[in-house]
Structure 1
Amino acid sequence: MTFIKVCGVTRRQDVDAAAGLGVDALGFILVEGSPRRVPLEEAVSLAESVPAGIRRVAVMMNPSPGELAEAAACGAFDLLQLHGEETPEMVEGAGIDVIKGLSVSGPADLERAAAYGAARYFLFDSRKREMAKGSVFDHELLSGRTFARPFILAGGLGPDNLGDALVAVRPFGVDLNSGVEDSPGVKDIGRLEKAVAVVRGFDETERGERR
């Protein structure tokens, strides 16, 4: 089954709705300046409301060693997603499973993944400037490539483009954020439901798997 992560969650009602749709993980963004940021204390409260069996992810970008240690040790999260210029040593020493996020615009960005063998997963996302234009990175860059860890595909995915992306890339997982929102941090549950249905339809028809 394709792993489904819903990221940028800021509200308890969206936690409940996403959980009801059977997603696999929920992400809470701790990054200063993000329109979807929630303070650590609020992220912990939201994470503690997540039903058992759904993985809870704290998303960070270039955290200080103290910030990284605090998020890893607080007990509310199952994974950290590090989405900045963190070193391989930071990933290895995090003390918790890590999703290493890499922003992609060309082959060199994908080649950086080789340095992060300590990560549990990779996440490949569009660069901010491409997202601002409403575009996603060229999925053909992933064609024929293999990586040391399973990868999650991100970057503007929603019900309108998800089917083509799944067929083209066949990722371990998908990350749903801006493509299933009314506004930053406010999920459009109708679009989220459609996106989940697209993924599960792909699993059934292309992979012969049914949840």
Structure 2
Amino acid sequence: MSPAPHSQPSQRTRIKICGLTREQDVDTAVQAGADAVGFVLYPPSPRHVTAGRAAELAARLPPFVTPVLLFVNESAAAVAAACAAVPAAMLQFHGDESPEQCALAAAGRPWMRAARIPLDGAATFDLVEFAARHEQARAVLLDAHVEGYGGGGKAFDWSRLPPSVNAHLVLSGGLTPANVTDGIVQVRPRCRTLAVDVSSGVERAKGVKDPDKIHQFVAAVRAADALLARSTDALLSAT
């Protein structure tokens, strides 16, 4: 793996809006400035869409906005079929898949792996080891460990993350316009780069996004970027 991470505080935080099911929500996410949009291909989820529906929604995306297909313990054949429908997609594995299963299903496509971070302060999770085992992943997504799969709109304790993780991280789990600025400020110095992923935090109902909340979320992310940039400038001025 590459040397220890050195986060660049002046970077622009990438944003993924996940769990999209409607055309107007895809359009709003793009207009607000999202870098990626996520489609949940996990039937038990209230935000589930079929591969065909994901393809219809992804067809609305302009260049340089990435569709992401979320799978939970899916077969390699089903993953391949979904990727044929949405060929430009990045893959997100959110179940109990091993690194080898992820790589096999991805078949050379870019993918990221969800890490389920305990909500219980007494429980332990070795994120450094997890990231090392998934070194082929484009990123490790941090979500709260709740019953079932997905973060359940819960935020874990960001301060308990390791101080240095040699990976690109995606912060998820309970993010909202009210807390995402603090999450970025706390987590970005701990990794190579940081992105954020939101679903329930910008909804008015499950699978139905709120345009105002999407715009507020993006604005809060940009506020975090500006705050970190000012901190960096002040540090450089003092040296």
* TM-score normalised by the chain length of structure 1: 0.91
In structure 2, the CA distance between the partners of 1:77 and 1:34, relative to structure 1 (3 Å rule), is farther
Unaligned runs of 5+ in 1: none
Report the identity percentage: 38
Counterpart of 1:184?
Answer: 206
Matches within 5 A, 1:35-50: 35-50=46-61
Deviation per residue, 1:37-67 (Å, 9 max, x gap): 0011101111111111101100000001211
Deviation at 1:75, TM superposition (A): 4.0
Counterpart CA distance in 2 for 1:118 and 1:150 is: 11
1:108 to 112, 125, 129: 125
Q: Within 5 A, what are the aligned runs for 1:10-159?
A: 10-93=21-104, 94-95=106-107, 96-105=109-118, 106-108=123-125, 110=127, 111-129=129-147, 131-132=151-152, 135-147=154-166, 149-159=167-177
Pairs aligned (count): 207
1:183 aligned partner, one-letter code: A
1:201 aligns with 2:223: yes
Within 2, Cα distance between the matches of 1:90 and 1:74?
21
State the 1:109 CA deviation. Answer: 5.2
In our comparison, the structure showing a higher alpha carbon Rg is 2
* Residue among 162, 185, 190 paired with 1:167: 185
What are the superposed Cα offsets for residues 98-129 of structure 1, whole Å, 9 maximum, x if unpaired?
Answer: 01111111442523232111111110101234
Q: Deviations over 1:164-185 (max 9, x none)?
A: 1111112610001111100111
Any idea what SS the aligned residue of 1:52 has?
coil
- Code of the aligned partner of 2:209: K
> Do the aligned residues in 1 keep the contact of 2:140 with 2:168 (CA within 8 Å)?
yes
Contact 2:70/2:92, CA 8 A, preserved across alignment: yes
* Cα 1:74–1:189 shift into 2, 3 Å: same
Deviation of the 1:91 alpha carbon:
2.1
Describe the superposition over 1:115-164 as per-residue Cα deviations: whole angstroms up to 9, x where unpaired: 111111110101234955x53111112240313x3010000101111121
The 8 Å contact of residues 182 and 224 in structure 2, kept in 1 or not, is answered as no
**Relative to structure 1, is the Cα distance of residues 75 and 181 closer, same or farther in structure 2, using a 3 angstrom cutoff?**
closer
Alignment of 1:2-17 (within 5 A): 2-17=13-28
Conserved? CA contact 1:25–1:55, under 8 Å: yes
Q: Secondary structure at the match of 2:140?
A: strand
Q: Could you give the per-residue CA deviations for residues 8-60 of structure 1, whole angstroms, max 9, x where no partner exists?
A: 00000000011001110000000010000001110111111111110110000
The amino acid that maps onto 2:160 is L
Offset of 1:201 from its aligned partner?
Answer: 1.3
